[in-house]
DNA sequence: TTACCTGCAAACAGTTTGCAGGCCG
DNA sequence: CGGCCTGCAAACTGTTTGCAGGTAA
């Protein structure tokens, strides 16, 4: 059972200590912006945000800190097909999968515990120790099935 | 019901015609290499493969053709966290999900019929008529768990 | 004090694009 | 024959890295 992290700074401090690393002002500032409920950031967005608080901060520091948070398991890195990479806080176990309408793009967060279990099983069966997963279900939603639509 | 494409060249020809584009030798050569059952390619891998058949072919052409196939819905583009982007044929129902090692990037094609069924069920439960899905399971593979690696 | 960390700018990798000539239809 | 396509190399984008000076512990 993975315990949800609910105090990012504390969790990061522990991680840094374990690694012989330091909690700097920049890192403190970045995580303060980063860890907001439901947030998701591109590196650039976060950089702009942090920069507003302290213009002297460097872009590389933001990148380095995001990678740090990822390695510390405090953030999740997601890459999308449209060339966008986002990082999102990993706090408070709000895992879900995505159900997406191919017609109108409507997206629902869904979860099926049985699937979650089978996923773990499936990974283990192949010798993998599962860490996480992403699942996107595509379909046509009820509204769009009824609605008129143009064609190519 | 989406009809599986079982003759890539034919399907591409149709797409190209519709768009006022042309079926060149290079494109023919590339799709010949690309469309192999179970295949998945990085742009570089495919470039190397095609190059062996015709050394005069340019890398940009491979990139352009992959994007073309993606737009024509004949290929699927997948991006993984380890910075790898692969393209895979979308032909005739060789559906599978992906099991990815976060350590070494090794990727396995996997399938669990029970999960497939639950996915359909889950989508329907929310009023969606399912068309397709993508599932990525991340974990650490056996080799990497045993292998030497620097540790915290 | 001594690593570690930072900002800067240069380096990098993967992908896209501009151009002059080539080829499909 | 006209316009799309190609190979080449340069451009681009997002990210990482080397370095000299700053800073947490």
Note the pLDDT tens digit of each residue in A103-143.
777 888 899 988 998 999 999 999 999 988 889 898 888 98
* CA distance readout (Å), A126 to A113, B29, B128, B146, B148: 21, 35, 31, 15, 20
Residue lying closest to nucleotide C16, CA to C1': B60
Q: How far apart are CA A23 and CA A142, in angstroms?
A: 50
The pLDDT of residue A100: 83
**A113 in contact with B, Cβ within 8 Å:** no
For B1-149, strand residue ranges (E) read: 75-79, 85-89, 97-101, 107-110, 129-140
Q: Is the CB of A61 under 7 A from strand C?
A: yes
Look up tokens 């399912």; give the residue.
B130
Q: What does the DSSP 8-state code read for residue A126?
A: T
With cut-offs at 50, 70 and 90, classify the pLDDT of residue A44.
very high
Instruction: Give A146 or B116, the one with higher predicted confidence.
Output: B116
The pLDDT of residue B124: 93
Mean pLDDT of B65-74: 94
Mean pLDDT of B6-22: 92
Write down the mean pLDDT value for chain A: 86
Cα(first)–Cα(last) distance of chain B, in Å? 50
| The pLDDT of residue A102 is above 90 | no
Write down the mean pLDDT value for chain B: 86
Could you tell me which residues come within 8 angstroms of residue A84 by beta carbon, excluding any fewer than 6 positions away?
A42
Could you tell me which residues come within 8 angstroms of residue B57 by beta carbon, excluding any fewer than 6 positions away?
B26, B29, B30, B47, B50, B51
Query: Which nucleotide shows the minimum CA-to-C1' distance to residue B27?
Result: D5
| Partner residue facing A119 (CB), from B78, B115, B123 | B115
Q: How far apart are CA B149 and CA B16, in angstroms?
A: 49
Angle between helix B59-71 and helix B25-34 axes, rounded to 10 deg: 70
The pLDDT of residue B128: 93
Contacts of A82 in chain B (CB under 8 A): none
**B145 in contact with A, Cβ within 8 Å:** yes
What is the least distance, in Å, from the CA of B37 to any CA of chain A? Answer: 21
| Partner residue facing A135 (CB), from B101, B133, B139 | B133
| The pLDDT of residue B152 is above 60 | no
Contacts of A80 in chain B (CB under 8 A): 79
């Amino acid at each position: 059972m993975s315990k949800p992290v609910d105090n990012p700074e504390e969790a990061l401090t522990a991680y840094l200590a374990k690694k012989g690393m330091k909690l700097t002002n920049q890192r403190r500032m970045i995580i303060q912006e980063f860890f907001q409920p439901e947030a998701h950031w591109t590196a650039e967005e976060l950089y702009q945000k942090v920069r507003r608080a302290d213009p002297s901060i460097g872009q590389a520091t933001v990148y380095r800190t995001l990678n740090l948070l990822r390695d510390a398991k405090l953030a999740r890195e997601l890459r999308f097909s449209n060339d966008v990479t986002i990082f999102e806080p990993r706090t408070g176990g709000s895992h879900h999968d995505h159900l997406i309408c191919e017609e109108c793009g409507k997206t629902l967060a869904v979860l099926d515990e049985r699937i979650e279990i089978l996923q773990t099983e499936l990974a283990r069966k192949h010798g993998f120790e599962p860490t996480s997963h992403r699942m996107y279900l595509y379909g046509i939603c009820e509204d769009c099935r009824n609605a008129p639509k143009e064609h190519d």
